Structure 1
Amino acid sequence: MKDMHGPRHRIILPALCWTARRRDFYAITTDISAEGVRFRSSSLLIPGEDLTCSIRHIGLLHARIDRAVGQEFVVSVRGDGPALASLARHFMALSRAQDLSVEPIRVDRRIVPKQKVVTVTLEDGHAVSGHVLNISASGVALLIDRTLELGATIQVGRKLARVVRHFTHGLGAAFVESFEPGDVHDAMTL
Structure 2
Amino acid sequence: MASVMGQVAPTSGRLFARQAAADQRRHRRVAVALLGRYMLSDRQEYPCQTVDMSPGGVRLTCAVGGAVGERIVIYLEHVGRIEGKVARLLPDGVAVAVSATARKRDKIASQLTWLANRAELGLPEDRRHERVVPRQALATLRLEGGQEVAARIIDVSLSGAALACEGELPLDSSVVVGRTPARVVRQFKGGLAVEFRLPLSPDRFDENLVL
| TM-score normalised according to structure 1 size | 0.45
Q: Which has the larger radius of gyration?
A: 1
Structure 1 or 2: larger helix share? 2
Structure 1 or 2: larger strand share? 1
Higher normalized contact order (CA 8 Å, seq sep 6+, divided by chain length): 2
